[in-house]
Chains A and B, each alone.
Chain A
Amino acid sequence: MDFFESLLDAWPQLWSGIQITLQLSLGGAALAFVIAVALGLSSISEIGVVRGVSRVLVEFFRGTSLVVQLFWLFFVLPQLGFRLESMAAGIVALGLNYGAYGAEVVRGSLNAVPKAQWEGTTALSMPWVTKMRRIIWPQAWALMLPGLNNLMVMLVKGTALALLIFLHDLTFVVDELRRTEGTYFAFGVGFALYYLISLGFSTVLRMLERRAQRKLGLAPTKAQTAQATAGAVA
């Protein structure tokens, strides 16, 4: 069959594009997550200055476009004597931009943990780290995963901008294929591959979400499910 032959021929090229896209996605997501957590936690700090700085950074990186941030990192910074490789510039831009969006998700989720839970930790005299790490974060985590999942899918799509700084990512490869294999084939394969990559990430995040909910008793635990199944069988 024509289609599969073409696909087989194009696969080495496609695979190298996929790898670049995956590197950008994973690197960008990792950095975005760290930034989101740091800025999200800062945004609910009791210290006004910390809150303010977090606010400004979030607004700045949300409010300026990803493309412009990318150009700054790749074209302007070198002129200031600070050179970033394409991949690094791509990851940093994605991390800053989606990190800022993620910070809002983190902040919203922390605020959505019932006030009674925060007060419970005060009544037990828990220091900040204990309160956050052991009580508030695990509950907020379950709430923030759907939002982070959303952002992850957007980030994967956002990696396509990397071709603007000369990275041969999946979009670049697909565009090349358009010339040799035709529009229909190239963009069809492009669609499918982006979809599969996004699906992969959101499946993993969905699993994390279920696990977090199970821990909160919002979904049956494995033991309970097993018990229920055993009961049904017996």
Chain B
Amino acid sequence: MPTDNPTGGPADGSTSGDAPRIVFQDVVKKFGDTVVLNGLNFTVAKGERVTLIGPSGSGKTTILRLLMTLEHLTGGYIYVDGDPLTFEERNGKRVERKPKDVARVRRRIGMVFQQFNLFPNMNVLENITEAPIHVLGRSKDEAEARARELLEQVGLGDKADAHPTQLSGGQQQRVAIARALAMDPEILLLDEVTSALDPELVGEVLGVLREVAKNTDITMLIVTHEMQFAQEVSNRVLMFDHGRIIEEAAPDVMFSNPTEPRTREFLQAVL
């Protein structure tokens, strides 16, 4: 884990300022009888960028969705800045947390989806300001000023009034990134954010993400098949197979000289 990273800003309301940003502890996830994760453990430091690679169905999406509380955690614990996310251990028992407590911790996490998921009943600006106004309680003026700033950053300064359907996939995804950033997340989850895009639009989205990586200290969990991008942006790469981490290395090592035959096989197929 890199130690040269400045720790992310103040951990809003977190109990321990020096706790790792993310801890997966004995995480189990089942869909019915299908066991997807069976006792997964890993830690992500503040400000770290971790790329998750592995064959389709190895559980990468499930990991991000568990963090975003989009899936029910079957077993184990997830901690964010030392705070339990959906379950906590109390008197040796595993207890589900109250929705209010979950919401407080979840607010530190943002996610960008493969399919953008912009709100079709709102224009671009409203898509971005909606949550800051109604969740963070920002004023409309403040939220709009920040949204316009973010739109500039993602190269869409002139699209504030556009409707999502008037934008290309690459533009929609950049709006989705701006929307996630508008919530000032400490953690940003990126699940194959360029997979749904035409090849010629991939570059503009990755460009925006490179800038975000460079100019912020947001902790990132990245699932991508863009290995060049992963190498540039991430501090560490985790190789998954059947819900287990089979190899873990710095990107240059992972991509040039992986140890595991399974990793080599996978990378050969992808690269």
How far, in Å, is B247 (CB) from chain A's closest CB?
Answer: 29
On chain B, the residues within 8 Å of A122 by CB distance are: 68-70, 106
| A138-B121 CB under 8 A given contacts A127-B135, A130-B135 | yes
Which residue on A lies nearest to B103, using beta carbons?
Answer: A125
Instruction: Tell whether, in the assembled complex, residue B163 and residue A217 are in contact, meaning their CB atoms are under 8 Å apart.
Output: yes
Q: Assess whether A49 is interfacial by the CB under 8 Å rule.
A: no
Tell yes or no: B47 within 8 A of A by CB: no
In whole angstroms, how far apart are the Cα atoms of A172 and B164 in the complex?
53
The smallest C-beta distance from B191 to any residue of chain A, in angstroms, reads: 10
- Given known A116-B117, A139-B120, A217-B165, contact A126–B134 (CB-CB < 8 A): yes
Q: Which residues from chain B contact A215 at a C-beta distance below 8 Å?
A: 121
Q: Tell me which residues across on chain A come within 8 A of B69, comparing CB atoms.
A: 122
The closest CB in chain A to the CB of B102 belongs to A125
Question: Interface size for chain A: under 10, 10 to 19, 20 to 34, or 35 or more residues?
Answer: 20 to 34
Indicate if the CB atoms of A120 and B183 lie closer than 8 Å.
no
Q: Assess the A116–B113 pair: CB atoms within 8 A.
A: yes
B115 cross-chain contacts in A, Cβ below 8 A:
116
Q: Which B residues between 130 and 176 are near A, CB-CB below 8 angstroms?
A: 130-131, 134-135, 163-166
A120: chain B residues within 8 A (beta carbon): 113, 117-119
Q: With contacts A134-B130, A217-B163, A217-B165 known, is A127 near B103, CB below 8 A?
A: yes
B164, A125: Cβ atoms closer than 8 Å = no
Residues of A within 8 Å of B180, CB to CB, are: 123-124
Residues of B within 8 Å of A116, CB to CB, are: 113, 115, 117
Closest Cβ of chain A to B91, distance in Å, is 26
Q: How far is the CA of A162 from the CA of B120 in the complex (A)?
A: 43
Q: How far is the CA of A94 from the CA of B106 in the complex (A)?
A: 44
Q: Would A123 and B135 count as touching, CB distance under 8 A?
A: no
Inter-chain contact A134/B113, CB cutoff 8 Å: no
Is A34 in contact with chain B by the CB < 8 A criterion?
no
Interface residues on B, range: 20 to 34
Q: Closest Cβ of chain A: how far from B250's Cβ, in Å?
A: 29
List chain A residues, Cβ under 8 A from B165. Answer: 217
User: Does the CB pair B121–A216 fall under 8 Å?
Assistant: yes
Contact B70 A119 (CB under 8 A): yes
Let me know if A22 is at the binding interface, CB within 8 A.
no
**Neighbouring A residues of B60 by C-beta, 8 Å:** none
A69 to B106, CA, bound (A): 48
Q: What is the minimal beta-carbon distance from B181 to any residue of chain A, in angstroms?
A: 11
Which of A117, A125, A216 touches B117 (beta carbons < 8 Å)?
A117
CB distance from B69 to the nearest CB of A (A): 6
Compute how far the CA of A127 lies from the CA of B165 in the bound complex, rounded to whole angstroms. Answer: 26
How would residues 173 to 217 of chain A score, 1 for a CB under 8 Å from any chain B CB and 0 otherwise?
A: 000000000000000000000000000000000000000000111
Q: In the complex, are the beta carbons of A217 and B131 less than 8 A apart?
A: no
Least CB distance from A168 to B in Å reads 44
Within 8 A of B (CB), among A213-234: 215-218, 221
Q: A217-B164, A217-B165 are in contact. Are A125 and B120 (CB under 8 A)?
A: no
The 3 closest A-B pairs by CB, nearest first: A124-B131, A120-B117, A138-B121
20 further contact pairs, Cβ within 8 A, besides A124-B183, A125-B107, A126-B131:
A116-B113, A119-B70, A119-B117, A122-B69, A122-B70, A123-B70, A123-B110, A123-B111, A123-B117, A124-B110, A124-B131, A124-B179, A124-B180, A125-B131, A127-B103, A127-B135, A130-B134, A139-B121, A217-B164, A217-B166
Measured CB to CB, the residues of B under 8 A from A are: 68-70, 103, 106-107, 109-111, 113, 115, 117-121, 130-131, 134-135, 163-166, 179-180, 183
27 contacts between A and B (CB under 8 A): A116-B113, A117-B119, A119-B113, A119-B117, A120-B113, A122-B68, A122-B70, A123-B113, A123-B117, A124-B110, A124-B131, A124-B135, A124-B180, A124-B183, A125-B103, A125-B106, A125-B107, A125-B135, A126-B131, A126-B134, A127-B103, A127-B134, A130-B130, A134-B134, A138-B121, A139-B120, A215-B121
